[in-house]
């Protein structure tokens, strides 16, 4: 429901969900983060999440990096372009394209 609203709603608990041990919860948290926002800086956790061994988490974090225009994620997104998971590679490529010039200078 939150994703359909496309508005930022401050939900402080999202930052704790980004580190939840359940990969399904982590993936969903990264999917809604660009919409709900968080008090914490997402750049602190984005690289680790993009490198997550679970494809759904990695691709959701990569998508979030693009939607939130996190230039700090360029190097890790570029690294993920060379992975084996088509889902993650496509999410990384899409996110790099959303970052504009910084994402296109790879």
Q: For each successive 10 residues of the chain (106 residues), what is the average pLDDT?
A: 50 80 95 80 87 97 95 96 96 95 73
The single-letter DSSP state of residue 84 is: S
Predicted confidence at residue 60, as pLDDT, reads: 97
Supply the pTM of this predicted model.
0.83
Rounded distance, CA 72 to CA 43, Å?
7
Contact 58, 88 (CB under 8 A): yes
């Amino acid at each position: 429901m939150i994703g359909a609203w496309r508005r930022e709603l401050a939900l402080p608990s999202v930052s704790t969900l980004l580190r939840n041990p359940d990969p399904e919860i982590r993936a969903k948290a990264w999917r809604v983060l660009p919409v709900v926002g968080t008090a914490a800086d997402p750049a602190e956790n984005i690289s680790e999440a993009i490198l997550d061994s679970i494809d759904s988490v990695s691709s959701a974090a990569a998508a979030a990096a693009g939607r939130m225009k996190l230039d700090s994620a360029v190097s890790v997104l570029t690294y993920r372009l060379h992975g084996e998971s088509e889902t993650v590679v496509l999410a990384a490529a899409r996110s790099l394209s959303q970052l504009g010039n910084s994402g296109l200078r790879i």
